[in-house]
Structure formats: structure tokens, C-alpha cells
Chain A
């Protein structure tokens, strides 16, 4: 856990210095397909993957509870 926090801080410091894109330069980044999360249409796919696979989480979806699954 401690290592992950340190990694997060390092990433923040390192990567935040690598780009300074202005608002008016973000046209491409604002494309809906550039969103850094699953699209809403994937909701039920994620649900069945949580049921059918041992791993879950780190995908923006539910990380457990209320699904009758492991």
C-alpha cells in the first residue's frame, strides 16, 4: 500500500510536468471516445465479467457487494 502511494505521488510529480495542454488545445481530448473510463454501454458486460471471473475492480465499475458473486 505504502509503495502504491509513493508510486502515485511520483507519477503525479513526474507526469504533471510533462504536459501543459491549454484549454483551446483540448479539442481532440474532448472527444467522447477519449474518456478514460468504460462507456455506459459496457455496463452489463462488466457485470457478467465480475460474476464469471475471479478478479474484479480497477475498471470504474463496482468493486464488490450486492452481486451475489465472489
Chain B
């Protein structure tokens, strides 16, 4: 904490120094002669997207298994000018997804015991219990809705050289809720050729933890494999033999400890600096410091240990093909849930450089270097070239390259050792690189000719991106954005 205080003092001193210099510059600035409204009229942005992905490294099933996922999301953002200086922003998002890996929180179709079973097919007469990391279960966790809301307020000074803003937000999903708040201050000087900003945010999340079925049932039954979920269910060993469930040496999770601290807090400070380099180019450099603490692992995600015997539920014939998508009928019982440290310090440093080539082309470049204390280092580069084909249409081809090293706590399926303190088989924390190819077309109605009731159409954006990771994950996303402005 001493370091934190010291850091805050340094930030405060640095900003005070810079802002003090900036004050002198403002004396000669005559921009307050005419005060243009920050926002002329109410603006409404509606953005909808469809996202689909597939891969073979699902974290819920320990680093192998289908990652098939579909997501429909819609965001509505309304900016309201309260007066010449102040703008109120209201933002809401709803996202509904269907996920094969989430469904495999309980992969055991046909499982019928237990009062809070997750399987919608319960109650039928079929007593055979099967499941696989390679197929979606019919469990209730297959579907979910994520929703969030944000209210922001910003105030600009008369000379437009100082901008203050504040926001509060809320987000909810079936396994957590989040409350957040933030504030920012931006200072422009040097005849608005230079801009510096500082932003802080805090998010207070609370888990409503969901666990892999076999682990939570085992703990609830005090390790008794003859009651509840495990009643009348055969457990198979590595070669497909039915084991004696009274043998204390057969399968059991290595820990009976579930989430102890349901909180997950995030604190961030962002610094930014922007500079006009000439009549056609400008640059910005920015950095965040993000501190997270609390339960940072995902309790849904299974881990399997190399030094523990393997046990299964399902069809013995599929055990030799367990890691192959051809396995549709057997599931390996987890050794534990993912365990990760209760703190994480993330440090991304980014840069943007935009260059106006001519009236047809603009170059937009972005680079980010990132490191954290979990061992991940990454580089991100993005190039986008807006092409103005007419007054009304702009095309946006883009390419993004991303690479990261693996977290200190990552190992693939069945490669961790039970002696480790922290472990995950989540491939989002593995070493990989990815490429993303994007194309967008924007229609711009300069004079807002098209009207719908009291609002006029300003822009329409249609975007498609293809994302491919060298681990095999592929994703497609298509977005449609429409911007309206309220008639004056």
C-alpha cells in the first residue's frame, strides 16, 4: 500500500506540474470568444452484433472440448446535451448467448439425481448417463443473458480546455453482478494542440459461483458416492472397468474448498497524452494500471492433473478416444476447479498514430504492449485504412495482429501437477497469436435527409471481422450500427 500511496503522490505532482504550465498558455487563448455547444442535439447510437466462435480447447472441460458459442448483443447509447457545456450519456447493453462449453458445467445427459440438477432432460426413463467435452449438454447453463447499464455525465469549461466526467455502471450475468464508478479529467492546451487526461475506475464484482456438477455434488454429499448425483452411476477407471465406489482411493476432487471470497474488485488508473504533430497527423500515448483482487479464477473451469488417476462416467468404449472429437459418450471427472492468485496487476501501454493522407485515405495505426504479474506479455498491432469513396460512403479495411506469452499458471489438459499452488487450462491464458481481418462500410447521410418520426438518420455502419487463433479457435462477428440525431 505504501507503493500505491507513493504512486498516487507522483501522479498528482506530475499532473499538477503539467497543468500549471498549461494555465499560462491559456492566458493567450481567445477561444472563449464564441462558445460552441459541446453537443448540438440528442444523438442515439444503436449497435447490434452477432458473434459466433468454435474451437477445441474449452476451459470448462479442462482445456479440451468444443468452444462453440453464439452471441447476439445490442447496445443503445443516448447522448443528451443538457446545456452548452454538459452532456448526459445513458448506455445499455443486452447480450444473449448460447455456449456449448458453459452447458458442460453439467455434461451428464441422463443424470437424474440431485435436487438442483442442471439437466433439462431429467425425469425421463433413460437411466444411461453419458456426456462429452465435444458435445453440448442440454443443461440450463447453456443459455444466459448478460446485461449492463452505464450513466455518464461530462462538463466542459467555457474555453473547452477542461473536461470533467463521471460515470456509474452496473452489469449482471447469472454467475456474477458488478457495480462500477469512475471519473476523468482532460486538459487541452497549446492552442488545443496538446491534450492530457487522467481517468480512474473502480468495479466491485460479486460472484454467484457455479461449479462443475461432479465437484459440487461430491462436496454436498460429503464424499458419499452412493447417494444423490452418484447414486446408481458407474464410475470407470482408465481402461473402462467399473470401480468399487467404496474404495477410498478412487476419484475425489483434490480440494473440498470452494470460493471463499466472492468478491472481485478492479481498480484502474489511466493516463493519456495526445499531440497534434502537424496539419495531417496526430499521436496519442496512453497507459492503464489495473489492479484486481479477490477471486480471479473462474469456478466453472475444470483442471485435470497428470499425477492423478483418471476416472470417467459414460461409455467405456470412448475412453481411448477421450481427447478426440469422436468421443461423444464419456466424460472425465474433474480433479479440481481452476485456482489462480487473488491479485493481478495489469499494465498495458498503447499508442495511436493517425495520418490524413489525402481526401480519400486516412491511416489509423494502433500498437499496445502489455504485461502483468501472472507472466503474460503481449503485443497488439492494428492498422485501419479508411477509404472515402464518396461523400456518403467510406470503406474501412483493417488488420489486427495479437500475440501473447502464456501465463505462469497455464498448462494444457492433464499436464498440471497436483502439487502446484495455482493452475488453469484456460487457453485464453496460453501462448498464442491471432490475426483478425475486418471490413466495414459506412453510409453517412450528411444532411440527415432520412427521417424516422422525430429522429434523422446520420450514419449506418456494417462491419464484419474474422478472427483466427493459432490454437484453432475461429470467430466471426458482424455488427450493424445506426446513428440517429434528434430533429432540432
Contact = CB atoms under 8 A, between A and B. Distances in A.
Chain B interface bracket (under 10, 10 to 19, 20 to 34, 35 or more): 35 or more
Given A4-B349, A64-B290, A25 B279 contact: yes
Nearest to B430: A54
Given A26-B279, A59-B368, A68-B173, A16 B51 contact: no
Contacts of B178: 65-67
Contact of B18 (A12, A35, A64): A12
A33 B481 CA distance: 16
A32 to B, nearest CB: 9
A5 B473 contact: no
Interface stretch (B214-222, B280-288, B321-329): B280-288
Interface string A32-51: 01111101111111011101
Contacts of A16: 189-190, 193-194, 275
B402 to A, nearest CB: 6
B82 interface: no
Interface in B167-185: 169-171, 173, 175-176, 178, 180
Nearest to B406: A54
A19 B190 CA distance: 9
The SS class assigned to the B binding surface is strand
B311 to A, nearest CB: 29
Contact of A43 (B18, B47, B205, B372): B47
A36 B354 contact: yes
B349 A58 contact: yes
Interface stretch (B7-15, B108-116, B124-132, B134-142): B7-15
A55 B75 contact: no
The SS class assigned to the A binding surface is loop
B350 A59 contact: yes
Contact of B266 (A40, A42, A59, A64): A64
B290 A57 contact: yes
Contacts, number: 229
Given A63-B201, A63-B270, A40 B45 contact: yes
Given A53-B434, A70-B429, A48 B280 contact: no
A44 B436 CA distance: 14
A58 B287 contact: yes
A49 B400 CA distance: 11
B298 interface: yes
A68 B282 contact: no
A55 B404 contact: yes
B356 A34 contact: yes
Given A53-B434, A58-B370, A65-B205, 14 more contacts: A16-B193, A21-B278, A29-B282, A31-B362, A36-B283, A43-B47, A44-B73, A44-B75, A48-B477, A54-B372, A55-B380, A63-B270, A63-B346, A65-B178
6 contacts: A19-B277, A35-B354, A36-B282, A44-B49, A52-B475, A70-B429
Interface of B: 7, 10-11, 14, 17-18, 31, 45, 47, 49, 51, 53, 71, 73, 75, 77, 146, 148, 169-171, 173, 175-176, 178, 180, 189-194, 196, 201-205, 264-266, 268, 270-271, 273-280, 282-290, 292, 296, 298, 340, 344, 346, 348-350, 352, 354, 356, 362, 364, 366, 368, 370, 372, 374, 376, 378, 380, 386, 394, 396, 402, 404, 407, 426, 428-429, 434, 436, 438, 440, 442, 461, 463, 465, 467, 469, 473, 475, 477, 479, 481, 483
